Amino acid sequence: MCLAIPGTITKIEGTDADIDYGGVSKCASIRFAEDAKVGDIVLVHAGFVIQKLDRKDGEELQKLVDETMRSIR
């Protein structure tokens, strides 16, 4: 379950935020990410921000994969 999509916060008004998904925007609640700021990339599920996303995107995962791949060789 749990369809959640990344987007960028473009505006905040109280606990409501406008999130840009690349071409289209929709409102979401930041009730669970009250320290979120405009410009943050966030994960949105069913109309609520559930997590701020690590800007370094795939870097950490690549490191974890690298650890495992090295031990395989």
Partner 1 sequence: MNYQTEDLAAGIRKLASEVGDVTIMEVCGTHTQNIRRFGIPSLLPGNIRLVSGPGCPVCVTSQEDIAAAVFAAGRENVIFVCFGDMMRVPCRAGSLEKLRQAGRDVRLATSPLDALKIAKENPRKEIVYFGIGFETTAPHTAALVEAAERTGTGNLSILNVHKTMPEAIRYLLRGENQISALLCPGHVASVTGSDAFSFVASELQRPAAVSGFEAFEILAAILKLLDMIRKKDPQCVNMYPQAVTREGNRQAQELMDKIFKPCDAVWRGIGCIPGSGLAFRECYAGYDAKKRFDIPHQETEEPEKCLCAKILKGEKNPEDCVFFGKECTPDNPVGPCMVSSEGSCAACYRYRP
Partner 2 sequence: MEDCITLEHGSGGAKYRELVEKVFLPAYSNEYINPLNDSAILSGAGKIAMTTDSFVVRPLFFPGGDIGSLAVSGTVNDLAVSGAIPRYLSVGMIIEAGLKIETLQKITASIARTAKTAGVSIVTGDTKVIEKQEEESGIYINTAGVGIFDEGRIPPSQKIETGDRIIISGCMAAHGMAVMNEREHLGFQPPIQSDAAPLGELISAVLRNDANIVHAMRDPTRGGVAATLCEWAGADTDILIRDADLPVRPDVSAACRLLGLDPLYIANEGIILLAVSESSVYSVLKDLQSREDGKNSRVIGEVIQGSGNVAAETLLGSVRKIRMPRGELLPRIC
Residue 12 or 43 with smaller CB distance to partner 1: 43
Helices (H), the chain: 59-72
Where is 61: in which H helix or E strand? helix 59-72
CA 34 – CA 62 distance, rounded (Å): 30
Looking at residue 54, the DSSP 8-state letter turns out to be P
Question: What is the token pair recorded at 24?
Answer: 């289209």
Residue of the chain from 8, 12, 18, 53 that contacts partner 2 (CB under 8 A) = 18
Binding mask 31-70 for partner 1 (x = CB under 8 A): xxxx--------x-xxxx-xx-xx--xx-xxx-xxx-xx-
Binding site for partner 1 (CB under 8 A): 1-4, 28-29, 31-34, 43, 45-48, 50-51, 53-54, 57-58, 60-62, 64-66, 68-69, 71-72
